[in-house]
Amino acid sequence: MSRPLILILGDQLSETLDVLTEAPDDALIALSEVSAEGQYVPHHPQKIVMLLSAMRHFADTLRDKGYQVHYSALDDDDNRHDLLEEAERLAEAYACDEIRVTHPGEWRLFERIQRRGTRWRLYPDNRFYCSIDAFGEWMAGRKRCRMEDFYRHMRKQTGLLMCEGEPAGGQWNFDHDNRAPIDQGLDFPTPPRHRMDAPLKRWPSWSRRTSVSISALSTASTGR
C-alpha cells in the first residue's frame, strides 16, 4: 500500500498547504533542521534560532492534530544535514514510496528536486495569489520583467486595493514618499526580549549541544 512522506520546509509552516490537507491518514510528516540550509548564504544566529523555534512549535501543533511527525533535530547523530538526502533517508526508514513537498520558494531547491527523479512529487504553493504557470503566461512576449507591472496586473485581476477599477487612494503606490530619509529625532522603543517557552523546553535537544551547533552553523555561514 502506498505511503507518502510529506516534507515541510522551514518557510512553509502552514496547516492549509494542499500537501497537508490532502495527506492520507498514514502519511509521515517530516521537518528537518539541516546545516546545509544555514550555510549556503550568511545567516544571523538569531534568525536561525527563530526558524528552529518556529519549526519545533509547528511540529508540536501537527502532533496535537493527530499527524505522525518525524522531526530531525540539528544535533541528531543520524541527521544527513541535507534536506533532500534527509528526506530520502526517512522515506527508506519509514517505508514511504513517495516524497511530497510544496513547491519551494527558491530555484536552488526546486532545481535539485526536479533532478531527484519520479519519487518526488511537487505540490503547488496555495499561499500565493498567482501560480508559477500563471506568472509564466503573463511574462510571455514581454521584453522586461518589472515588479511594478506585475503588481498592477495582480491588483486588477484580484480586485485587491482597487475601487471601481481604480487604485484605492488614487495612486498605485507611494514609493516616492517612502524614499524620504527617516526623521533623526525619532525615539525608538527598547527591543523586546523573549524567554524560552514551554514547547521548546520539552525538546531534550534544545540544550547546550544545540546551542553549540547553532553557534558553529552561524560561524560557518558568515565566516566569522
Give this prediction's pTM: 0.82
- Tell me what pLDDT residue 40 has: 81
**Half-sphere exposure for 106 (CA within 13 Å, toward CB):** 10
- Tell me what pLDDT residue 112 has: 95
Measured between alpha carbons, how far is 111 from 114 in angstroms, rounded to an integer? 5
Measured between alpha carbons, how far is 180 from 178 in angstroms, rounded to an integer? 5
Asked whether the CA dihedral 163, 167, 168, 171 is positive or negative, the reply is: negative
Nearest by Cα to 16 from 121, 102, 110, 87: 102
**pLDDT tens-digit map of 117-151:** 889 999 999 999 999 999 999 999 999 999 999 99
Return the axis-axis angle of helices 132-139 and 147-158, rounded to nearest 10°.
120
Question: SS3 of 121, please?
Answer: strand
Whether 49 contacts 197, CB under 8 Å: no
- Tell me what pLDDT residue 208 has: 47
What's the grid cell of residue 70? 518525524
Measured between alpha carbons, how far is 36 from 81 in angstroms, rounded to an integer? 6
- Tell me what pLDDT residue 202 has: 58
Amino acid at 178: N
Core vs surface per residue 2-30: b (16+ CB within 10 A) or e: eebbbbbbbebbeeebebbeebeeebbbb
- Tell me what pLDDT residue 215 has: 56
- Tell me what pLDDT residue 213 has: 55
What's the grid cell of residue 207? 540544550
Task: Tell me how crowded residue 74 is: count the other CB atoms within 10 A of its CB.
Answer: 22
Whether 9 contacts 103, CB under 8 Å: no
Domains of the chain listed by start with CATH number: 4-127+204-222 (3.40.50.620), 132-171 (no CATH)
Mean per-residue pLDDT over the chain, rounded: 87
Nearest by Cα to 109 from 224, 32, 48, 50: 32
pLDDT beneath 70, residues of the chain = 1, 198-224
H-type alpha helices, the chain: 18-21, 36-39, 45-64, 83-93, 107-114, 132-139, 147-158, 175-178, 198-201, 208-222
- Tell me what pLDDT residue 23 has: 96
Residues across the chain = 224
What's the grid cell of residue 38? 544555514
